[in-house]
């Protein structure tokens, strides 16, 4: 069996048995053809699967780095090689999966997208914000005031909003409970929304945010509200609820909040997850520059 036949059999397995999408199959086929071309250059004569050793796979990965492929692309190709050789081992075409020893490159952590303070000011204090629907205003204010996730907002219950203490009880990932405070602007926005909120006859009576027909909001609807509101204030490519969560965390840390407190507010399991927000914002850089530079 030629190497191309092994590739064809593997792709057929993904398509028929695992029901992979046509686009994924095409992508995998292109990656494996690239590996096949590398083997053709390496072996001038005929070769068998037994000729392919771990050192050869490492050379292929090294070539990808030399050709300036991104770490993410290289990781994808390594993952495919691991899966492909696992398939070959399972079919008894090779004795063991030599690709299992390949190591993924450490991916660079992307800094989270967040609004600057001036962009946030524009979001909440502009002519457009004054004309905003009560539902939209309450959603945006609560996102920025608490940093909660989209799923947490959609499932938030009125009974879990404590107006006396200005706190909400949130059930995050793994149903882990946490208490998060909210500010006076969010309180006002929520109260304005409650005045016009549709009260369903049954079912969702305790869910805070509802559609006009009394149904629970769906993620796409909240994403659309957020995107529309952010389009006029920022050039960020991402305009999702998560941007407001990132903004909440970034602004707190910029103002000197303890990172452990921010971790608890966000509902993170580990401090390392929260540390992605400890970047230096442009506002902070300007402030340090003005304070420290002789001609600042």
What residues are labeled active site?
A: 149, 173, 242, 245, 268, 277
Distances (CA, A) of 51 to 29, 116, 211, 246: 22, 56, 63, 50
Q: In sequence order, what DSSP letters do the residues of 257-294 get, joined into one string?
A: --HHHHHHHHT-SSHHHHGGG-SPPHHHHHHHHHHHST
| Residue 294 burial (CB count, 10 A) | 4
Cβ neighbours of residue 95 closer than 8 Å, sequence gap 6 or more:
89
* Distance from C-alpha of 147 to C-alpha of 247, rounded to nearest angstrom: 8
Cβ neighbours of residue 269 closer than 8 Å, sequence gap 6 or more:
173
* Distance from C-alpha of 33 to C-alpha of 20, rounded to nearest angstrom: 18
Sign of CA dihedral 73, 78, 83, 84: positive
* Distance from C-alpha of 7 to C-alpha of 250, rounded to nearest angstrom: 47
* Distance from C-alpha of 294 to C-alpha of 62, rounded to nearest angstrom: 48
């Amino acid at each position: 069996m030629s190497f191309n036949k092994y590739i064809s059999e593997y792709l057929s397995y993904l398509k028929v048995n695992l029901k992979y999408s046509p686009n994924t199959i095409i992508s995998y086929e292109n990656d494996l053809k690239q590996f096949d071309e590398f083997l053709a250059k390496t072996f001038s004569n005929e070769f068998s699967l037994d000729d392919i050793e771990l050192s050869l796979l490492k050379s292929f990965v090294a070539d990808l780095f030399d050709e300036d492929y991104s770490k993410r692309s290289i990781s994808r190709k390594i993952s495919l090689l691991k899966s492909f050789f696992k398939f070959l081992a399972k079919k008894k075409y090779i004795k063991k999966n030599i690709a299992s020893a390949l190591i993924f490159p450490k991916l660079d952590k992307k800094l989270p997208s967040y609004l600057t303070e001036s962009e946030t000011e524009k979001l909440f204090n502009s002519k457009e914000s004054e004309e905003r629907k009560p539902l939209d205003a309450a959603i945006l204010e609560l996102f920025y005031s608490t940093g909660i996730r989209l799923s947490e907002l959609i499932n938030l219950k009125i009974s879990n909003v404590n107006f006396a203490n200005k706190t909400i009880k949130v059930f995050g990932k793994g149903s882990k409970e946490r208490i998060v405070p909210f500010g006076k602007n969010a309180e006002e926005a929520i109260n304005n929304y409650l005045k016009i909120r549709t009260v369903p006859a049954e079912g969702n009576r305790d869910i805070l945010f509802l559609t006009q027909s009394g149904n629970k909001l769906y993620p796409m609807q909240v994403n659309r509200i957020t995107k529309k509101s952010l389009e006029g204030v920022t050039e960020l490519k991402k305009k999702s609820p998560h941007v407001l969560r990132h903004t909440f965390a970034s602004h707190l840390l910029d103002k000197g909040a303890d990172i452990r407190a921010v971790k608890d507010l966000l509902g993170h399991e580990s401090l390392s997850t929260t540390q992605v927000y400890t970047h230096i914002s442009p506002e902070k850089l300007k402030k340090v520059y003005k304070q420290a530079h002789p001609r600042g």
